[in-house]
Chain A
Amino acid sequence: MAAALGCRAPCRTGWLPTLQIVRHAKSVTRHWKAMHFERQKLMAVTEYIAPKPAVPEKCIAPRIKAVKEENGYAKLLRLQVAETFRDSKMIAVCQHNFTPSEEMLLMKHRLRKHNIHVKFFPNEIVRPYLSVSKYKNLLPLFVGYNLMLVSPEIKVKEMLRILKNMPQINLLGACIDNTILSNQGVINYSKLPTVEITQGQVVGTLSLMASQMCGLLQHSSVHLTALLDQYIKQQSGGAGEADGKAGEGQAELGPAKSSAGL
């Protein structure tokens, strides 16, 4: 009891608290235990306050933005797009609606026979490339689901024939031999004759003029000689009418003799 209440033992050396509580709870516990109130006050008063600069650092130093590394696949696709546009003479852009895989495979096979390749590229890759290159006017076509038919040769008739059988693939436009054509333009292009025939027609038209030139130059003199011949005949015909009649009779006998002889 005396221990519980505390003992009042006078000490000569220093000051001792008047009350010493002997029975107390453990100071080191497994659960979080609140500090003594006085200790709490002391901790609050002696809390560390960090020194703040007059101008915060955020205002002085610029924010370092993380540099986004480019996707390797996007780079590869861009290279492929550039290569496709560089190496192809004929590039046709079509709208790609849903096509069953078998039909798509058949179409690819038929086109491949004529060395026409079917290419799919994302619009996000193609549009930046087109906006910088000479194919700027093809930009409006690359919206939505598209496919490209590319070929190093120009085979428009075969391509149109194959696309006629595929109602799901709609031809929007084409760039043939550095010339941008619409749907109707491609159809008209396919109806043109071949280059050799056209060249032959041009050569024929040009040589026609040259061949007619000789005739034109000689025309007047030939006409004059014909007129003179006619005049001479008329003159000689009038003078020798009598001679001519005798001559005609001889001429009649002649063929009759010859026929009898036969």
Chain B
Amino acid sequence: MAVPKAAVVLRHVKSVMVRFCPFQTNVETTRIFLGHVNSKKARASNISCVVTTDVRHDGSEPVVDIMFADGDRLIMKGANLTAAEMLSAFNSRCIAKDLKAEEKTKKKGA
């Protein structure tokens, strides 16, 4: 399992909702993603971020629903994704938001 070592940073995240059915066989990557989101460093990066887990038994697909602080929403259906892909998609968006925030602060400073 090639999972990047870079920690998950939840600075721009308002809430994370993970929904899966544990008796299915395609939930491994979603569970790994949930473990990373709940890690020590991730929780320390943003204490006000709410991480909810919805465990069901209805045969539905595993879904990760991330709500960002600026209103953006990222929905990832983890049935056919690897954990590395999910984390890289999430991290790329976080980095983009970081850059935006930096540009804003520079403009304000200037």
Q: Does A231 contact B (CB under 8 A)?
A: no
Q: On chain B, which size bracket covers the interface?
A: 10 to 19
**Which one of B27, B51, B57 lies within 8 Å of A185 (CB-CB)?**
B57
**Residue A80 interfacial (CB < 8 Å):** no
Q: Is B43 an interface residue (CB 8 A)?
A: yes
CB distance from A173 to the nearest CB of B (A): 6
Which one of A98, A143, A145, A173 contacts B40 once the chains associate, using CB atoms below 8 Å?
Answer: A98
Q: Are the CB atoms of A144 and B31 closer together than 8 Å?
A: yes
Measured between alpha carbons, how far is A87 from B53 in the docked complex, in Å?
A: 31
Among B17-25, B67-75, B84-92, B99-107, the stretch that binds chain A is: B17-25
A184 contacts chain B at the CB level, 8 A cutoff: yes
Pick out which of these stretches binds chain B: A15-23, A164-172, A214-222, A235-243. A164-172
From A97, which residue of chain B is reached at the shortest CB distance?
A: B38
* Residue in B closest to A170 when the chains form the complex, CB atoms: B53
Contact of A170 (CB < 8 Å), options: B25, B39, B40, B55: B55
Are B22 and A141 within 8 A (Cβ)? yes
Cβ-based interface call for A40 (8 A): no
The distance from the CB of B10 to the nearest CB of chain A, in whole angstroms, is: 13
Q: How many A-B residue pairs have CB under 8 A?
A: 53
Q: Does A199 contact B (CB under 8 A)?
A: no
Query: Pick the contact of B38 from A98, A141, A183 — CB < 8 Å?
Result: A98
Tell me if A84 is interfacial: C-beta within 8 Å of chain B: no
Q: Is B9 an interface residue (CB 8 A)?
A: no
Q: How far is the CB of B15 from chain A (nearest CB, A)?
A: 13
A236 to B32, CA, bound (A): 93
Residues in A neighbouring B32, C-beta threshold 8 A: 144
Q: Which residues of A contact B25 (CB under 8 A)?
A: 140
Q: Are B23 and A140 in contact (CB under 8 A)?
A: yes
Residues of B within 8 A of A143 (CB): 27-28, 31
Q: A182 interface residue, CB < 8 Å from B?
A: yes
Q: Which 6 A-B pairs have the closest CB atoms?
A: A97-B38, A182-B57, A172-B22, A144-B31, A183-B55, A143-B28
25 A-B pairs, CB-CB below 8 angstroms?
A95-B31, A95-B35, A97-B38, A98-B40, A98-B43, A140-B24, A140-B25, A140-B27, A143-B27, A143-B28, A143-B31, A144-B35, A145-B35, A167-B51, A167-B53, A171-B55, A172-B22, A173-B23, A182-B55, A182-B56, A182-B57, A183-B55, A183-B57, A184-B57, A185-B57
